[in-house]
Amino acid sequence: MSTQFDQVSVIKKANVYFDGKCISHTVLFADGNKKTIGVIFPSSLVFNTAAAEIMEINAGLCRIRLAGNSEWQSYGAGQEFHVPANSSFEIETSELLDYVCHFIA
């Protein structure tokens, strides 16, 4: 996993979800790719997806359950999970979660 992104544009306005429990910034790449970099404060949330996503965990711990699954999976720093397009996932964090969301075209 890369520790930085070079030659990008960043949208200054923050994306604030769930009354401030999730805050991110959008990063735009010259090739048209888009990512968000953010944090999720301790909480239990449900995210809906339009595009497929890869959630890369930089720091912290979480449990996730993909739509249609009964099992929870745990992830921590250096790990990632994949979410299909037009789907959803539940996420539980008991500490600050630092992440990068990679949108798959």
DSSP 80-91: EEEE-TT-EEEE
Confidence at residue 37, expressed as pLDDT on a 0 to 100 scale? 98
Confidence at residue 105, expressed as pLDDT on a 0 to 100 scale? 78
Task: Give the pairing type, strands 34-40 and 43-48.
Answer: unpaired
pLDDT at 1 over 80: no
Let me know: does 95 contact 40? Beta carbons within 8 Å: no
The DSSP 8-state label assigned to residue 18 in this structure reads G
Confidence category of residue 36, pLDDT binned at 50, 70, 90: very high
Distance CA 95, CA 69 (A): 24
The pTM assigned to this predicted structure is 0.94
pLDDT at 47 over 90: yes
Read off the pLDDT of residues 51-103 as tens digits, 9 standing for 90 and up.
999 999 999 999 999 999 999 999 999 999 999 999 999 999 999 999 999 99
Give CA angle at 55 (23, 36), nearest 5°: 40
